[in-house]
Amino acid sequence: MEHSSSVLRVENLSVGYDGKVILRNLNFSVGTGEIVVLLGSSGCGKSTLLRHLIGLLPPLSGRILFGDRVFADAQNPGSEEERDNVLRRIGVMFQSGALFGAMTLLENVLLPIREFTDLPHDLAVICAEMKLDSVGLLEYAHYFPSEISGGMQKRAAIARAIALDPKILFLDEPSAGLDPVTSDALDRLILSIRGKYGTSVVMVSHELASIFSIADRAIFLDKKTGGILDEGSPESLRDRSVHPEVAAFFNRGNSQKGR
């Protein structure tokens, strides 16, 4: 897949918290409409990196750019307003879905539309209904999150994340806790959103099936060196990577499949 321009660019980024550096000097970019998956063993810093990319943690060094806008810079923190402007252009789905329990699905999706646009109420509702329709939950618009299944909650969380037509979507382990059929449906939904809106996706995942079916590129993070160990399409990493950790990661999946 050809990716003309980069939506997200990470330059010399060091990530960590409480004075502890977990990953250092990372450099990578994500193109328009590209789906990139962050891989690595447990505790290697994938989720921490994701938290930096969505602005929940400040970078220890280096910077993060969305398009040509600087989102986070360790040297020059920049204004809150500028940061908020960027945050409106990105969508995030947390592992648990993080839907607001006291609101219906429609109200959950309406929240960012109401907060960040001047759309009149009737149009905002139509907009939210369209988003729920695109994840197949229009019929459940008036349900509360506690009244629907885990897979539906994740789809609703995606609907909320794409409410403002973000250029890039961050997904933290979208398949975690889902059965293979639901997980497959979620993968297809992510692909359809990319197809429809041209959204780039950065996701953390351990699900090999999901990685192979949707990811254009995988970035394998290394716990020992605290950097990027290998990078490329999932197939090329599986077949041609010279690093034993990468081979072990993908071959474990093969042995499982062979059973």
Partner 1 sequence: MADGFRVDGNRVILSGSLDADTVPGIYSQVIKAFPADTQIVHEVDVSSVDFYDSAGLAMVSGLSDKYRVVGAGPEMTKELDSFAGKKKSAVLQVPPRPGFFESVGRMTASGAAGIRGILNFTGESVFHCTDALLHFGSLSRREFMRVFEASAADAVPVVALISFLLGLILAFQSAIPLGMFGAEIYVANLIGISIIRELGTLVAAIVMAGRTSSSFAAEIGTMMVNEEISALKTMGINPVRYLVVPRILASAAALPMLSVFADLCGVAGGSFVVISLGYSFRSYCMHAVSFVGASDFLGSLFKAAVFGVIVAAVGCFRGFQTGFGADAVGRSVTSAVVSAIVAVAFADGIFAVVFFCLGI
Site residues (vs partner 1, CB under 8 A): 101-102, 116-120, 122-124, 126-127, 129-131, 133, 138-144, 146-147, 163-165
| Residue (38 or 110) nearer to partner 1, CB | 110
CA-to-CA distance for 155 and 186, rounded, in angstroms? 7
The helix or strand, by DSSP H or E, that contains position 234, with its residue range, turns out to be helix 234-240
Q: Which is nearer to partner 1, 37 or 162 (CB)?
A: 162
Q: Are the C-beta atoms of 14 and 26 separated by less than 8 Å?
A: yes
Altogether, the residues listed in the chain come to a count of 259
Beta carbon nearer to partner 1, 152 or 219: 152
The position carrying tokens 């806790």 is: 177
Closest approach, Cβ 236 to partner 1, in A, equals: 34
CB-CB contact of 55 with 84 (8 Å): no
As a whole number of angstroms, the distance between CA 190 and CA 60 comes to: 31
Residue 128 in contact with residue 163, Cβ under 8 Å? yes
Q: How far apart are CA 171 and CA 156, in angstroms?
A: 13
Nearer to partner 1, 25 or 96 (CB): 96
Classify residue 127 as left (phi > 0), alpha (psi -120 to 50) or beta. alpha
Q: Is residue 3 packed enough to be buried (19+ CB in 10 Å), middle (13-18) or exposed (0-12)? A: middle
Closest to partner 1 by CB, 11 or 129: 129
- Closest contact distance (angstroms) between CB of 210 and partner 1 is 26
- Minimum CB separation of residue 116 from partner 1 in Å reads 8
Question: From the CB of 160, what's the least distance to partner 1, in Å?
Answer: 13
Rounded to a whole number of angstroms, the minimum distance from the CB of residue 163 to partner 1 is 8
CB 128 within 8 A of CB 187: no
Shortest CB 161 distance to partner 1, Å: 13
The residue among 105 and 237 lying less far from partner 1, judged by its C-beta, is: 105
